[in-house]
């Protein structure tokens, strides 16, 4: 686990910056409809962002947790705040919100995984 304080680490992850320095972009900028790719190393601090092959398989667990959490929060907002009692509408709204956040979920889950299990090696100069 990085020694960065948790609120600062969360801020870096939400901004999609390198979780180690908070300055470098963690992903290559692409158009809205393309799936972003990790930089192999942070452009600012040079920390390894790729890890060994298959490193990001574990991010699927984080992604699942984020999706379930978002679904529960959406359901509670629908039910308690807006008073929507039709289960068809509740399920439809939950699916819609989870799909709208799919790309952010993908990026954030990778950064959370990276912050939880930082690769050991540094960039070779
Ligand atoms: Zn960095």
pLDDT recorded at residue 29: 82
Instruction: For residue 65, name the pLDDT band (cuts at 50, 70, 90).
Output: very high
In tens, the pLDDT along 75-84 reads 999 999 999 9
Residue 59 has pLDDT above 90, yes or no: yes
> Ligand 1 centroid to 68 CA: how many Å?
29
> Ligand 1 centroid to 105 CA: how many Å?
21
* Helices vs. strands in the chain: H and E counts, helices first: 4, 0
Q: At what angle do helices 102-116 and 6-14 cross, to 10 degrees?
A: 140
Can you tell me the distance from the alpha carbon of 58 to that of 53, in angstroms, rounded to the nearest whole number? Answer: 12
Q: How many C-beta atoms surround the C-beta of residue 20 within 10 A?
A: 23
> Ligand 1 centroid to 88 CA: how many Å?
44
> Ligand 1 centroid to 77 CA: how many Å?
36
Question: What is the distance in angstroms between the CA of the first residue and the CA of the last residue of the chain?
Answer: 25
In tens, the pLDDT along 96-125 reads 999 999 999 999 999 999 999 998 766 555
In tens, the pLDDT along 21-57 reads 999 999 998 888 888 899 999 999 999 999 899 999 9
């Amino acid at each position: 686990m990085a020694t960065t304080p948790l609120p600062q680490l969360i801020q870096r992850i939400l901004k999609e910056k390198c979780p180690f320095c908070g300055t470098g972009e963690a992903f290559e900028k692409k158009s809205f409809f393309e799936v972003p790719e990790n930089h192999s190393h942070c452009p600012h601090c040079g920390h390894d962002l790729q890890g060994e092959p298959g490193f990001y398989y574990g991010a699927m667990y984080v992604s699942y947790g984020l999706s379930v959490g978002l679904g529960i929060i959406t359901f509670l907002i629908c039910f308690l705040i807006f008073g929507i009692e039709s289960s068809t509408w509740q399920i439809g709204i939950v699916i819609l919100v989870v799909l709208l956040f799919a790309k952010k979920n993908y990026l954030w889950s990778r950064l959370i995984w990276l912050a939880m299990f930082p690769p050991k090696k540094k960039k070779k100069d």
